[in-house]
Amino acid sequence: MTRRDSAARALGSTEHVEHGEALATQELPPFEAIYERYFEFVWASARRLGVSAAAVDDVVQEVFMLIHAKVHTLRDPAALRSWIYGVVRRTASDHRRAQRTKDASGAAMAAESDLAREAQPTPQELSEQSDQVKLLYSLLAELDEPKREVFILAELEEMSVPEIAAALEIPLNTAYSRLRNARQAFEERLARRTARLESGGRS
């Protein structure tokens, strides 16, 4: 059994039934139901994967075109959300690569690993948010990309660990340990930031 199969099989457990009818019925919903149910997830995921506000419409369209064309190849309907995330991930990656090629300037030749910076909301977007949201994204920016991705999927998108493992095509144990490390790293950074603020307040 492949790692993907293993993760997908784990998705069939009752632990994940809350994630939609598809899991309960083991049938794929029709396309427009997929759009209805997953539009927000696709959009938010694209933004968090470094797609700018200006480009997100095009990328989300591309994702749904691919879903429309390829969803019938999905072996396990229970893995739909994980599969969709994989589509978003690849499409966002293609988009970023195309942007770099198009721009072809020194600044635009950033390596794939520079996504941490690219994936951040713009200062203008953040300026309209609460201090808590600003702090959250500031802390997320400090995590390395694998940890940030798994943290976002688990905490912001509320995906189960088996779903995350399937989406990222990593072994289940790796997903668990990565999430544990991500949470730990996040909390440590938060504690440091809080301590710094408190000591600054006292001085």
Partner 1 sequence: MTKLVPAAQELVDAGRGFLRPNAGDKARVLAALQARLGTAPEPHAAPAPSPLATPVSAGRGGKLAAVAAGSVVLGALGYYFTRAGDAPVTKPLGVVASASAAPSSLAAPVLETPVASAESSPPSPSSSPLPSADASTARRPADRLGEEVSILSRAEAELHSGRFASALRLLDEHQRKFPNGKLSQERIAAKIQALCALGRSSDADAELARLAPDSVHEGRARAACSKTPSVNGR
Nearest to 67 by CA among 98, 26, 36: 36
# residues near partner 1 by CB under 8 A? 52
- According to CB under 8 A, which residues from 143 to 172 bind partner 1? 155-156, 161
Query: Any contact of residue 133 with partner 1 (CB under 8 A)?
Result: yes
Burial grade of 145 (CB within 10 A; 0-12, 13-18, 19 or more): middle
Query: Any contact of residue 61 with partner 1 (CB under 8 A)?
Result: yes
Tell me which DSSP letter residue 28 carries. Answer: P
Query: Any contact of residue 73 with partner 1 (CB under 8 A)?
Result: yes
Taking the complex as a whole, the smallest distance from the CB of residue 141 to partner 1 amounts, in Å, to 12
Spatial contact of 164 and 153, defined as CB atoms under 8 Å apart: yes
Burial grade of 97 (CB within 10 A; 0-12, 13-18, 19 or more): exposed
Report the SS3 class of residue 118: helix
Nearer residue to partner 1 within complex by CB, 74 or 110? 74
Nearer residue to partner 1 within complex by CB, 106 or 121? 121
Of the ranges 11-19, 24-32, 110-118, 163-171, which one interacts with partner 1 (CB under 8 A)? 24-32
Taking the complex as a whole, the smallest distance from the CB of residue 202 to partner 1 amounts, in Å, to 19
Nearer residue to partner 1 within complex by CB, 14 or 106? 14
List the one residue from 75, 117, 192, 196 that touches partner 1 (CB under 8 A). 75
Distance from the Cα of residue 48 to its chain's centroid = 6
Spatial contact of 11 and 54, defined as CB atoms under 8 Å apart: no
Nearer residue to partner 1 within complex by CB, 40 or 112? 40
Residue 96, token pair as written in the block: 């970023």
Report the SS3 class of residue 61: helix
Query: Any contact of residue 60 with partner 1 (CB under 8 A)?
Result: yes
Q: What number of helices (H) and strands (E) belong to the chain? A: 11, 0
Instruction: Name the site residues for partner 1 (rule: CB under 8 A).
Output: 2, 28, 30-33, 35-36, 39-40, 43-44, 47-48, 57-58, 60-62, 64-66, 68-75, 98, 121, 125, 129-130, 132-133, 135-137, 139, 155-156, 161, 176, 179-180, 183, 186-187, 190, 194
